[in-house]
Structure 1
Amino acid sequence: MKKPETNLTRYEKIQNFNPLVSRLHGTRYKHLIALFNDLSLKNPSRPLKVVDIGCAHAKAFDVLQSRFNIDYVGIDLDEELVRTAKARYSKYSNFRIIHDSVTNHYNELQNVDVIIALESLEHIPESIVVRLIEHIARAKPAAFMCSVPNEVGPIVFLKNIGSLLTGYMRHKEYKWRETLHAGLFNLDKVETHGIGHKGFDWRWLAQTIRHNMPITETHTNPFDWLPKTLSFSVIFICRQKS
Structure 2
Amino acid sequence: MTSPASRTQQTGHDFTCYEKNQTFNPLVSYLHTTRYKHLIKLFTELSAKDLSRTLRVVDIGCAHAKAFHILNSRFNIDYTGIDIDETLLSIATERYAGHKNFRIINDSINNHYAEFQNADVIIALEALEHIPENIVVRVIEQIAAAKPEAFMCSVPNEVGPIIWLKNIGSLLTGYMRHKEYKWMETLHAGLFNLDRVETHGIGHKGFDWRWLAQTIRHNMRITKICTNPFDWLPKTFSFSIIFICLREP
> Which among 146, 153, 160 is matched to residue 139 of structure 1?
146
Q: Which residue of 2 aligns with 1:205?
A: 212
- 1:23 equivalent to 2:30? Answer yes
> Which among 51, 55, 59 is matched to residue 52 of structure 1?
59
Q: Which residue of 2 aligns with 1:174?
A: 181
> Which among 197, 203, 216 is matched to residue 196 of structure 1?
203
> Which among 92, 98, 115 is matched to residue 99 of structure 2?
92
Contiguous gaps of at least 5 residues in structure 2: 1-11
Shift in Å, 1:6:
7.0
SS at match of 1:212: coil
When the two chains are superposed, the root-mean-square deviation of aligned CA atoms in Å is: 1.1
- In the superposition, the TM-score normalised over structure 1's length comes to 0.97
- 1:224 equivalent to 2:226? Answer no
User: In structure 2, what is the Cα distance between the partners aligned to 1:58 and 1:30?
Assistant: 16
Shift in Å, 1:225:
0.6
User: In structure 2, what is the Cα distance between the partners aligned to 1:112 and 1:44?
Assistant: 18
Q: Which residue of 1 aligns with 2:4?
A: none
- Check conservation: 2:56, 2:79, Cα contact below 8 A: yes
SS at match of 1:196: coil
Shift in Å, 1:112:
1.1
User: In structure 2, what is the Cα distance between the partners aligned to 1:35 and 1:6?
Assistant: 30
- Check conservation: 2:52, 2:76, Cα contact below 8 A: no
> Which among 119, 125, 135 is matched to residue 132 of structure 2?
125
User: In structure 2, what is the Cα distance between the partners aligned to 1:64 and 1:234?
Assistant: 21
Alpha-carbon displacement from aligned partner over 1:150-197 (angstroms, at most 9, x marks no partner): 000000000000000000000000000000000000000000000000
Q: Percent of aligned positions with the same letter in both sequences?
A: 76
> Which among 105, 124, 139 is matched to residue 112 of structure 2?
105
User: In structure 1, what is the Cα distance between the partners aligned to 2:15 and 2:102?
Assistant: 20
- 1:74 equivalent to 2:81? Answer yes
Q: Which residue of 1 aligns with 2:18?
A: 11
- In the superposition, the TM-score normalised over structure 2's length comes to 0.95
Shift in Å, 1:25:
0.3
Q: Which residue of 1 aligns with 2:41?
A: 34
User: In structure 1, what is the Cα distance between the partners aligned to 2:77 and 2:21?
Assistant: 28
SS at match of 2:48: helix
Alpha-carbon displacement from aligned partner over 1:19-54 (angstroms, at most 9, x marks no partner): 000000000000000000000011322210000000
User: In structure 1, what is the Cα distance between the partners aligned to 2:190 and 2:50?
Assistant: 44
SS at match of 1:7: coil
- What amino acid is the match of 1:63? I
Contiguous gaps of at least 5 residues in structure 1: none
Runs of 4+, deviation exceeding 3 Å: none
Alpha-carbon displacement from aligned partner over 1:124-146 (angstroms, at most 9, x marks no partner): 00000000000000000000000
> Which among 158, 165, 170 is matched to residue 163 of structure 1?
170
User: In structure 2, what is the Cα distance between the partners aligned to 1:236 and 1:167?
Assistant: 30
